[in-house]
Amino acid sequence: MTKGNKLIRIILWALGIIAGLIAIALIAFNFYIGSSKPIIEGELTVSILEEDVKVVRDGDGVPHIDAQSDADLYRAQGYVQAQDRLFQMDLARRQASGRLAEVVGAAAVENDKFFRTFSLRDAAEKSWDGYDAQSKQVLEWFAEGVNAFMKEERLSYEFKLLGYEPEPWTPIDSLTIGKYMAYDLGGNWSLLAFRHWALNNLPEELTAELIVDYPKEARSIIEANKESEVKMAGSFPIEAIPNEFNGSNNWVVSGEKSETGMPLLADDPHLGLSTPSIWYQMHLQSPEQNVSGVIFAGVPGIILGHNEDVAWGVTNVNPQVQDLYIEKQSPDNPYEFLYDGKYYEAEVRDEPIHVKGGNIVDFEVIVTKHGPVISDLVFDKEPVGEVFSMQWTALEPTRELQAVLGFNKSKNWQDFDLALRDFMAPAQNFVFADTTGTIAYRANGNIPIRKIGEGKLPVPGDSSDYGWEGYIPYEELPTVINPEEGYIATANNKVVGEEYPYYITDFWAQPYRFERIVDLLESKEKLSVQDMKNIQMDTVNLYAAEFLPYFLKTIKEADVDGKYTDIIASLEAWDYNETIDAPQPLVFNFLIEELKESLFAEEIPEEVYMMMPGKYQIMDNLLRDAYKGNEGMWIEKAGGLERFVYKSFEETIKELKDTYGDNYKKWAWGDFHQLTFDHSISAASDLVAWYLNPAPQPVGGSRTTVQAAGNRINGKVNHGASWRFVADVGNLSKADHIVGPGQSGHKKSEWYHDQVDDWAKGNYHTTRLDGEYENANELLLKAGK
């Protein structure tokens, strides 16, 4: 045998050993991960239970909990949620409480400062006393169930990877997660902060074009902003700002307009798409209730869904519920603030931030008459003398969980309407249907009535002339019951007319989803359950239908050499359906991004631009005015309408050719627009992302289609229908759902990513209330002895 052959044999032998060791390591790792997989069959003794509880997970992983009392039902709910989602629950309470650095490290300190300042946990603690005894008891029962699971020491692998164990669960943890949802769905502080910057850094004419309805009558407010010493720093964690497209679709159809002769209801909340889902689907049954739907992991009850008598869904009203105040500090004491000619001492909370590894970062939160001082987060501290504080409806004591428990046991609209009074923050558009045939709608929640102005700019904090004088009375909130049209629909659109006596917001979502839903609802005399699903999955873009004809006219006139004739012809022939194989949505959406960036990005510093909300709506208004002959200063600065649009189109085509080749016929929306459900810790490394995240797949639609599918700048779709729900009120023993990416938060569960394809393709699963479950796994939770 030659030396060369010996060397090859040695190398192959070594490689074989290495491959074997890798295989053994992978097997061991898989075994390690799988060892914490939830037990879903057989029997488990749970000492806190008074009687046995049956938990059946159906073929889609939805737990159906059947208990003999509400006490055991909520204990079991806490236990089962912890089985599937404890790591998510713990991260959620830590995020909202500003305690991530304890387990993540120094990288989370700025995030913790942000949420300590926003005071969500403090607000949850203050809300506790406002709850009735029964609601408090439910929260206690739920916490007992979570803690019972923790004591079994079957924690999921994420805890071991991060090297910590969760603390016992408390009722305040559940309420804090609820407050986080109010934060995610009900904020406009960044809008006010941006407008303050604009007034101090841009010509007033440019600033006026950035505000939908410029408050020219409130000169005192404008001057107060211009004279303010507070300067924007932009040092806060930008990722903490909620997605500005957080919203939803919902609609309800009367029995007169449905094939079944009874109401049909559809709802799909638009939030971040992640692993695991923000929602956890459950069915809860006791002698007192039989309710099914979704809830935030870490919270008892069912917040959206149906029971045997009623069904309901929500979209975001998105009213102006956060106001900024220009507070004047005492020159002698930074903790004292001027109010009506006198200085008062603010509340100061010491909030030391414990960092993994042993370090402690000293931090304090200052709370004025109006709310916490947020200047240290988004504004320079110097010069001392003025700071910004924030007043927010969610920082007041509220009772959302009490409302949820009322929804779950409602029998009709009267019951539900009574429960709605406790749902104060965030303000939501509720649609409703019951088995009597009633359909209804209410824009619900605390919406401020201001003494001066409409919350469009920060206001002076040193005078009682400004501030709030209560909320829109409950009886005067927008309400519709059994309309003649036979349907009610909302999609974060404007829900009141000019005659409505109260101010809600001037920053409604663009109307395209709402208009498309109404078009489809009115396209047939009778609608079916399948029609409801088809509407939820619709990918026709009315945004493109409005603007693209204008753009093409401009582009054709400028394209004197016929350079883009074929592409223009293709765009003219487009039916505005954003399917994955079509090139036109790729061109249109890239063009919109190019227009937006070239219009604003050069005039506004990067850190300010990143937090600027409403860029698309502002640009759209400017373009509408320009095409009507009223070219504003922003368009003029961009070179005038024709040059601005044509140059942006040229840049768009160049970018697409560089990326996808010269043949536009081979371009496809799905090559860029790809669905992903990223795990919360997948950013740690590419290897972790490969292991925990599903493979990206092409998906149609966009942020403005009914099938909402918002993407990052890299094309990853990370925002859309976090849950899809369709119910026939004539048969509430079942309903249809999609919860992407799946029910379980455990990597080794068959329900971890089993609904990714379903989400992309619109394949719904049926969840039943009547005990007829297919491919079920049954677990008996035995009462303690």
Strand partners, 491: none
**Of 652, 667, 682, which residue constitutes the final position of a domain?**
667
Q: Give the mean pLDDT of 326-354.
A: 96
Chain centroid, CA 68 distance in Å: 35
Cβ-proximal residues to 394 (8 Å cutoff; 6+ apart), any chain: 120, 123, 179, 182, 183, 186, 321, 425, 426
Q: Beta strand 247-253 with 264-272: parallel, antiparallel or unpaired? A: antiparallel
Ramachandran sector of residue 632 (left: φ over 0; alpha: ψ -120 to 50; beta: rest): beta
Q: Give the mean pLDDT of 672-700.
A: 92
Asked whether the CA dihedral 88, 94, 98, 101 is positive or negative, the reply is: negative
In a domain, 620, yes or no: yes
- Specify the range with the lowest mean pLDDT, choosing from 4-18, 167-181, 436-450: 4-18
Identify the pLDDT of residue 473.
98
Identify the pLDDT of residue 602.
85
User: Across the chain, what does the average pLDDT equal?
Assistant: 92
Neighbouring CB atoms inside 10 A of 172's CB total 18
Identify the pLDDT of residue 506.
85
Cα angle vertex 271, ends 325, 753, to 5°? 150
In a domain, 452, yes or no: no
In a domain, 624, yes or no: yes
Tokens for 529?
């359950």
**Of 623, 642, 667, which residue constitutes the final position of a domain?**
667
In a domain, 68, yes or no: no
pLDDT above 80 for 27:
no
Greater confidence, 1 or 666?
Answer: 666
pLDDT above 90 for 34:
no
In a domain, 565, yes or no: yes
Q: Give the mean pLDDT of 40-56.
A: 97
- What CA–CA distance (Å, rounded) separates 679 from 517? 32
pLDDT above 50 for 692:
yes
What is the signed CA dihedral for 172, 175, 176, 181, rounded to 10 degrees? 170
In a domain, 589, yes or no: yes
Q: How many domains does the chain have?
A: 2
Identify the pLDDT of residue 721.
97
Max CA separation in the chain (angstroms)? 101
> What are 710-754's pLDDT values in tens digits?
999 999 999 999 999 999 999 999 999 999 999 999 999 999 999
Cα–Cα nearest to 36, from 82, 76, 77: 82
Cβ-proximal residues to 425 (8 Å cutoff; 6+ apart), any chain: 182, 186, 321, 393, 394, 396, 398, 400, 445, 446
In a domain, 175, yes or no: no
Cα angle vertex 68, ends 78, 166, to 5°? 15
> What are 532-573's pLDDT values in tens digits?
999 999 999 999 999 999 999 999 999 999 999 999 999 999
- What CA–CA distance (Å, rounded) separates 691 from 374? 39
- What CA–CA distance (Å, rounded) separates 330 from 338? 7
Cα–Cα nearest to 87, from 776, 755, 723, 752: 752
Cα–Cα nearest to 61, from 762, 737, 783: 737
- Specify the range with the lowest mean pLDDT, choosing from 64-78, 205-219, 265-279, 412-426: 205-219
Which H or E run includes 56? Answer: strand 53-57
Task: Show which residues are catalytic.
Answer: 248
Domain span including residue 567: 542-576+583-667
In a domain, 746, yes or no: no
Q: What's 106-126 look like in SS3? A: HHHHHHHHHHHHHCHHHHHHH
Q: Give the mean pLDDT of 254-265.
A: 98
Beta sheet of 310-316, edge-to-edge order: 42-46, 777-783, 53-57, 63-66, 279-286, 289-296, 304-307, 310-316, 428-434, 439-444, 479-481
Identify the pLDDT of residue 12.
46
pLDDT above 50 for 74:
yes
Determine whether the annotation assigns residue 323 to a binding site.
Answer: yes
Q: Where are the alpha helices (DSSP H) in 304-457?
A: 375-378, 400-408, 413-420
Cα–Cα nearest to 400, from 73, 178, 93: 178
> What are 446-486's pLDDT values in tens digits?
999 999 988 999 999 999 999 999 999 999 999 999 999 99
Whether the Cβ atoms of residue 110 and residue 237 lie closer than 8 Å to each other:
yes
pTM tops 0.85, yes or no = yes
**Of 619, 640, 667, which residue constitutes the final position of a domain?**
667
Identify the pLDDT of residue 785.
62
